């Protein structure tokens, strides 16, 4: 019998619904929220209001694109956390109502685990390399930076993580310092391609083991730019591309250094990357260069699966459905989510 899962994602500022049948993606609809652009970051209250407006049209579109009716859905999987509580509430409440109305089970999903499981989404008429267990995943998003050891679909262990800011946050905050719009990561990436990565050097963190730290880098960048502007008010304008290339290079070097250490410590050289920052072209190139130099096998998701999407929630739901891991109607979202 076929298993068809409706996935719902509403943890931050993207409202998304997707349908996965037997591991194959049938549809994945994402409504972005432009309302935050004017504020230089996500405004939680505005995000939850926009989710409320978007959720039903987005689900209807996902069902239409999949060419199925709601009666064909076996379970609804939703992001329980981590994320913004008000945003999570919208997806959770929708899923509860949908589950009750249709008489189908609900499946709670950890957003971070879901980012990693994008590597298992299959698409008709597309060949894809799927990582064998165990493998390591560098999970880099706006809210999280972790090195995760994946032993099985639902068996993961965080072996390193940031003790302060996430890598995406470092991109976004540094971008803000030089007047770039939110989210800064993609703009920095684009500008970096025309800049000199060795033009400026910034402080690197000295953290032991596999953990990361990015708050010192952000401060070092802020003070450097502030001091330069005192000398030359046009400093940022004149050096925009080089600033972007240098800060991006530093963030990537920090990420790669701990990843190389993780490979050494675990002896595992199958490396996946996931999360919003995995869209970064410099990071992708740095990973691919290790295929040649260190013999790694590298798994990089398609761009559409890097940032928040419900396809990743649906695929996680698909594996949990097989274990009959269902949630009850009294479940509440969690802003923080332990593995
Ligand atoms: O995974 P995601 O969509 O949301 C969270 O769960 O946080 O990640 C969003 C983050 C933002 O910080 C954004 O700036 C960053 O991913 N990002 C990038 C790029 N595209 C998105 N960072 C660097 N380079 C990119 N091309
Ligand atoms: Zn995310």
Q: Which ligand is nearest to the CA of 186?
A: 1
**Protein residues near ligand 2, an ion, with CB under 5 A:** 141, 308
Whether 172 lines ligand 1, by a CB cut-off of 6 Å, is yes
The answer on 310 and 245 residing in a single domain is: no
* 10 belongs to a structural domain: yes
Length of the chain measured in residues: 339
The answer on 260 and 191 residing in a single domain is: yes
Whether 9 lines ligand 1, by a CB cut-off of 6 Å, is no
The whole-number pLDDT of residue 35 equals: 79
Range of the domain at 311: 4-127+305-322
The answer on 122 and 18 residing in a single domain is: yes
The answer on 119 and 146 residing in a single domain is: no
* 152 belongs to a structural domain: yes
The answer on 44 and 25 residing in a single domain is: yes
What pLDDT digit, counting tens, does each position of 187-243 carry?
999 999 999 999 999 989 999 999 999 999 999 999 999 999 999 999 999 999 999
Tokens of 222: 């802020």
Angle, to 10 degrees, between the axis of helix 281-294 and the axis of helix 184-192? 60
- Answering whether pTM is above 0.85, one says yes
The whole-number pLDDT of residue 40 equals: 75
* CATH number (domain holding residue 48): 3.30.420.40
The answer on 156 and 111 residing in a single domain is: no
Whether 282 lines ligand 1, by a CB cut-off of 6 Å, is no
Tokens of 4: 């068809």
CA–centroid distance, 83 to ligand 2, in Å, is: 9
* 118 belongs to a structural domain: yes
The answer on 174 and 115 residing in a single domain is: no
Burial label, 62 (beta-carbon count in 10 A; 0-12, 13-18, 19+): buried
* 338 belongs to a structural domain: no
* 122 belongs to a structural domain: yes
Return the sign of the alpha-carbon dihedral for residues 302, 305, 135, 7.
negative
The answer on 244 and 160 residing in a single domain is: yes
What pLDDT digit, counting tens, does each position of 106-146 carry?
999 999 999 999 999 999 999 999 999 999 999 999 999 99
The answer on 139 and 123 residing in a single domain is: no
The whole-number pLDDT of residue 44 equals: 86
Nearest CA to ligand 1 atom 24: 280
Enumerate residues 6+ apart whose C-beta is below 8 A from 100: 329
Which DSSP symbol is given to 151?
Answer: E
Tokens of 171: 């991109």
224-249: b (≥16 Cβ within 10 Å) or e: bbeebeeeeeebbeebbbbbbbbbbb
The answer on 257 and 146 residing in a single domain is: yes
**Main-chain phi, psi angles of 295, to 5 degrees:** 75, 25
Structural domain count, the chain: 2
The answer on 121 and 14 residing in a single domain is: yes
The answer on 105 and 14 residing in a single domain is: yes
pLDDT in tens, the chain (339 residues): 899 999 999 998 899 999 999 999 999 999 988 877 777 778 888 889 989 999 999 999 999 999 999 999 999 999 999 999 999 999 999 999 999 999 999 999 999 999 999 999 999 999 999 999 999 999 999 999 999 999 999 999 999 999 999 999 999 999 999 999 989 999 999 999 999 999 999 989 999 999 999 999 999 999 999 999 999 999 999 999 999 999 999 999 999 999 999 999 999 999 999 999 999 999 999 999 999 999 999 999 999 999 999 999 999 999 999 999 999 999 999 999 765
Q: In what order do the strands lie in the sheet with 106-110?
A: 24-32, 14-21, 4-9, 75-81, 106-110
Whether 333 lines ligand 1, by a CB cut-off of 6 Å, is no
* 201 belongs to a structural domain: yes
* H or E stretch at 79: strand 75-81
* H or E stretch at 63: helix 44-66
Tokens of 180: 């770039």
* 296 belongs to a structural domain: no
User: 41, 192, 277, 310: which to mutate for ligand 1, most atoms within 8 A of CB?
Assistant: 277
Whether 239 lines ligand 1, by a CB cut-off of 6 Å, is no
Nearest CA to ligand 1 atom 13: 185
């Amino acid at each position: 019998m076929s298993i068809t899962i409706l996935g719902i994602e509403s943890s931050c500022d993207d409202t998304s619904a997707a349908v996965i049948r037997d591991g194959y993606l049938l549809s994945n609809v994402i409504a972005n929220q432009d309302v935050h652009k004017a504020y230089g970051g996500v405004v939680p209250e505005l995000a939850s209001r926009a989710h409320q407006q978007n959720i039903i049209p987005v689900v209807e579109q996902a069902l239409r694109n999949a060419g199925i009716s709601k009666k064909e859905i076996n379970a609804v999987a939703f992001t329980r956390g981590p994320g913004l509580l008000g945003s999570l509430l919208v997806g959770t409440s929708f899923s509860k109502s949908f589950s009750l109305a249709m008489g189908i089970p609900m499946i709670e999903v950890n957003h971070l685990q879901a980012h990693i499981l994008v590597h298992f989404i299959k698409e008709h008429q597309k060949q894809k390399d799927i990582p064998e267990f165990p493998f390591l995943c560098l999970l880099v998003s706006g809210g999280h930076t972790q090195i995760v050891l994946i032993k099985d679909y639902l068996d993961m262990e965080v072996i390193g993580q940031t003790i302060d800011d996430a890598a995406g946050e470092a991109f976004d905050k540094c971008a803000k310092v030089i007047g770039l719009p939110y989210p800064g990561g993609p703009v920095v990436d684009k500008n970096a391609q025309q800049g000199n990565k060795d033009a400026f050097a910034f402080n690197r963190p000295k953290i032991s083991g596999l953990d990361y730290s990015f708050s010192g880098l952000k401060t070092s960048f802020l003070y450097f730019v502030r001091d330069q502007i005192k000398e030359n008010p046009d400093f940022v304008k004149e050096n925009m591309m080089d600033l972007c290339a240098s800060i991006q290079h530093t963030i990537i070097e920090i990420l790669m250094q701990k990843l190389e250490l993780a490979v050494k410590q675990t002896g595992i050289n199958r490396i996946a990357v996931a999360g919003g920052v995995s869209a970064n072209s410099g990071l992708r190139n740095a990973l691919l260069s290790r295929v040649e130099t260190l013999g790694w096998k590298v798994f990089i998701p398609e761009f559409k699966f890097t940032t928040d999407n419900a396809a990743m929630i649906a695929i996680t739901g698909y594996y949990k459905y097989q274990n009959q891991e269902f949630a009850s109607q009294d479940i509440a979202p969690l802003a923080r989510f332990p593995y």
